[in-house]
């Protein structure tokens, strides 16, 4: 039981690195055409092409569920749930709290909430794929904690 909890927690934290890496080298790299609309406000739709990255990680999570279900990988459930939990956290923090795609969680009363919004705002000040900063979601440089 403890192994599965450990794998779940490790997977969740590894996903922060994966999100950073994917954001910096894939979204701001060869798949910029899918991510660019997220940095601009000139699109009319509530959906963004950037939302396709959710599908990618959902498929990976489902893949681990299937590996577990068909007795191929015993810890597949813990890995799949860790990826799912990170995806849910990403949706709540990035899409709802930071970008206000739903008008809830509007106030940032905590130091962490203010700092995560500030770091993400600095990321979005760059509208092109070059010269970006703060590619992670939950972890960011210490300087954004200052004056929070």
Q: Answer whether 80's CB lies under 8 Å from 72's CB.
A: no
Q: What is the average pLDDT value for the chain, to the nearest integer?
A: 89
Q: Which of 33-37, 44-48, 90-94 has the highest mean pLDDT?
A: 90-94
Residue 2 CB partners (closer than 8 Å, separation 6+): none
Average pLDDT (23-44) is 86
**Hey, is 18 helix, strand or coil?**
helix
pLDDT band of 43, cuts 50, 70, 90:
low
**Between residues 71 and 148, which one has the greater pLDDT?**
71
Domain boundaries of the chain, sorted by first residue: 2-37+46-144
pLDDT category at 148 given cuts 50, 70, 90 is low
The overall pTM is greater than 0.85: yes
**Rounded distance, CA 22 to CA 26, Å?**
5
The whole-angstrom separation of Cα 66 and Cα 77 is 8
Percentage of the chain lying above the pLDDT 70 cut: 97
Please write the tens of the pLDDT for every residue from 62-116: 999 999 999 999 999 999 999 999 999 999 998 899 888 888 877 778 898 889 9
């Amino acid at each position: 039981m403890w192994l599965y909890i450990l794998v779940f927690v490790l997977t969740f934290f590894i996903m922060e690195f994966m999100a950073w890496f994917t954001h910096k080298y894939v979204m701001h790299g060869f798949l910029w055409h899918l991510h660019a609309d997220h940095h601009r406000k000139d699109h009319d739709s509530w959906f963004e092409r950037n939302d396709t990255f959710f599908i990618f990680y959902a498929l990976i999570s489902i893949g681990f569920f299937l590996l577990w279900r068909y007795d191929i990988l015993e810890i597949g459930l813990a890995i799949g749930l860790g990826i799912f939990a990170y995806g849910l956290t990403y949706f709540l923090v990035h899409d709802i709290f930071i970008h206000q795609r739903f008008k809830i969680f509007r106030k940032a009363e905590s130091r962490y909430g203010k700092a995560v919004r500030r770091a993400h705002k600095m990321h979005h000040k760059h509208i092109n794929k070059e010269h970006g900063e703060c590619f992670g979601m939950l972890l960011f440089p210490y300087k954004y904690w200052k004056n929070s």
